[in-house]
Amino acid sequence: MTANLLEGSMNDLLRSLFDRSTGEFVVVNPTESVIESLVDIGSGYEGDLPTLHVLADDRLLKDVMDDFLVAADAADLIDAGHVTLRELVGDADNTLVVGEDELYAIVDADEHVAALAADDDAFIADAYETYRRRWEDAPEFNLRTPALSRIRATLDEDIGEDVRADFDSVLASLETARGDGEGLDEVTISLLVAAKNDVLLYDISKWGEDVGIASKATFSRTKTRLEDLGLIDTEKVPIDVGRPRLRLKLGDDRLRAADGDELASVAYRMLN
């Protein structure tokens, strides 16, 4: 009989669950913390990760995936075939993790998190068939964020290793990347590391549009906002034909003195 699991955090619980299981799971009606932990554990999991078919409320998925750090890692897991995201149609009362021969209800109780296991084989088989069918019939969630591995590789190739290294340092220093008062978004981060390395606005915005982060217009609007706030400065660079292009530069001594892993915190304080 499959045993219950009790851990101190959602990450520990899911890691224990994955360690004891193979095959695939349908993850039904996950909470925000479950989705974030699935992505976090899945991204760094050593071993054979069970295939995770996530069936979640579309509004919740949109909210969770507004965090670039979560979305970019989720996109990598999707590209690798480890995770699928689909929109839950209809009601589901609990958060369930359902496999062919195991079923758990996830319960989060302050200091502990539990996976309560079902022990009726016929019930488990029926539940798996039901939720597997619901997953197959559910619409796919449209995750627009590109995979982090692709972002890093193209940034390295198209813009430069130093910019990619600073980009990595900024991401590693952040807990969230939303740009809504809780962090810096991916466009702001890209512009800041570009300015730290004197990259042309044209080059970073073209890269950002090509890789799928945001349009050139979004990069331009964000640049103007950061320039108005004193975080970024620009200088004109003549070209053979057409209007001069703009080279991005950091606009404040506090930013210029910051290392890559300090850049985000300094910028955040200036923005808030």
pLDDT tens per residue, range 134-155: 999 999 999 999 999 999 999 9
Q: How far apart are CA 237 and CA 248, in angstroms?
A: 10
So what's the pLDDT on residue 137? 95
Cβ contacts of 4 within 8 Å, gap of 6 or more: 114, 115, 116, 117
Look at the block and give the residue holding tokens 């890691």.
15
Report pTM.
0.92
Fold designation for 5-137: Endonuclease; Chain A (3.30.870)
- Report the interhelical angle of 58-65 vs 32-44 (nearest 10°): 50
- pLDDT > 90? residue 108: no
- pLDDT > 80? residue 13: yes
So what's the pLDDT on residue 182? 57
Sequence spans of domains, the chain: 5-137, 148-271
Cβ contacts of 137 within 8 Å, gap of 6 or more: 89
Provide the β-strand partners of residue 75: none
Total residue count of the chain as it appears in this document: 272
Mean pLDDT for 240-255 is 90
pLDDT in tens, 22-42: 789 999 999 999 999 999 999
Cβ contacts of 52 within 8 Å, gap of 6 or more: 24, 25, 27, 38, 42, 77, 82, 83, 84
So what's the pLDDT on residue 6? 84
Degrees (nearest 5) of the Cα angle 222, 219, 268?
Answer: 40
Q: How far apart are CA 186 and CA 124, in angstroms?
A: 42
- pLDDT > 90? residue 70: yes
So what's the pLDDT on residue 175? 86
CATH number of the 148-271 domain: 1.10.10
So what's the pLDDT on residue 125? 95
